[in-house]
């Protein structure tokens, strides 16, 4: 039996703002190929935690290890170059460029010939269901399609860890179904950390769930275990609050 390989290891991660601990002593291990969901009520600290993982926020305490390397003090661009990709809650596309040009710019980070990059761009746009819009200006897309374009820009870089922050926000029900199918296809080949408010999506595609509350890990487990957890029901699932 092969030993478990962890793509991301977070140990004792904390962020203090004045007297407020936005994130407090978080431990998290994400094995290779897993789809991990991070959930919790508003103000739970999810956005801060993701900022600490990606290098956009400097930790007060604790460590982040990515691919067995301590990246706690590395800036975001260094982590991206190592294979950590992520999308934001707010889209960050180039509105005046075509879909092909947007994804091609992202593809340049992984290198390759022009023909190889073109093939990769076309393949990933097909994967997210946008191949028929390849020459359309990104700014003319609906918000939901812009979200899918941003995911394509992440996927084309072949990340070792893809972090998706509220990816289904603004998607129609049909687009949500397509997104779930996309993540299922990625499962096992791409490690995914999913921050998501749509619990139907989380329960359908996550292998494992981490629940954050007041900056601390409240619970971890499979979707069935989390759904049945009384503490999670009280703090989140039963409260009718499914925000970030």
- pLDDT, one tens digit per residue, over 139-188 is 999 888 898 899 999 899 889 999 998 888 888 898 899 889 889 888 77
Residue spans of the domains in the chain: they are: 1-83+191-244
Alpha-carbon span 181 to 178, nearest angstrom? 5
DSSP assignments along 78-93, one per residue: HHHHHTEEEE-SS---
Phi-psi region of 142 (alpha: psi -120 to 50; beta: other; left: phi over 0): beta
The dihedral sign for the CA sequence 133, 134, 138, 143: positive
> pLDDT, tens digit, for every residue of 47-93?
999 999 999 999 999 999 999 999 999 999 999 989 998 886 556 79
pTM score, two decimals?
0.88
DSSP 100-155: HHHHHHHHGGG---HHHHHHHHHHHHHHTT-GGGTTSBGGGS-HHHHHHHHHHHHH
Q: How confident is the model at residue 240 (pLDDT cuts 50, 70, 90)?
A: very low
- Whether residue 29 contacts residue 63, with contact meaning beta carbons closer than 8 Å, is answered with no
3.60.20.10, 3.40.980.20, 1.10.1060.10, 3.40.50.300: CATH of 1-83+191-244: 3.40.50.300
Three-state DSSP class for 200?
A: helix
Q: How far is CA 13 from the centre of its chain?
A: 18
């Amino acid at each position: 039996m092969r030993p478990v390989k962890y793509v991301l290891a977070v140990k004792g991660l904390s962020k203090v703002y004045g007297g407020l601990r936005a994130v407090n002593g978080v431990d998290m291990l994400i094995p290779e190929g897993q789809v991990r969901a991070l959930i919790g009520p508003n103000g739970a600290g999810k956005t801060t935690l993701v900022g600490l993982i990606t290098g956009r926020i400097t930790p007060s305490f604790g460590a982040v290890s990515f691919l067995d390397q301590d990246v706690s003090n590395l800036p975001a661009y260094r982590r991206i170059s190592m294979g950590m990709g992520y999308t934001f809650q707010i889209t960050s596309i180039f509105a005046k460029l075509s879909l092909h040009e947007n994804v091609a710019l992202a593809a340049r980070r992984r290198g390759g010939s022009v023909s190889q990059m073109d093939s990769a761009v076309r393949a990933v746009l097909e994967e997210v269901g946008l191949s028929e819009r390849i020459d359309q200006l990104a700014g003319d897309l609906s918000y939901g399609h812009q979200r899918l374009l941003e995911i394509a820009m992440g996927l084309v870089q072949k990340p070792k860890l893809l972090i998706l922050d509220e990816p289904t926000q603004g998607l129609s029900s049909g687009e949500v179904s397509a997104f779930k199918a996309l993540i299922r296809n990625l499962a096992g080949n791409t490690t995914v950390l999913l921050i998501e408010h749509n619990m139907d999506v989380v329960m359908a595609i996550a292998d494992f769930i981490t629940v954050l509350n007041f900056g601390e890990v409240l619970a971890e487990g499979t979707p069935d275990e989390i759904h049945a957890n009384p503490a999670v029901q009280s703090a989140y699932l039963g409260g009718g609050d499914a925000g970030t």
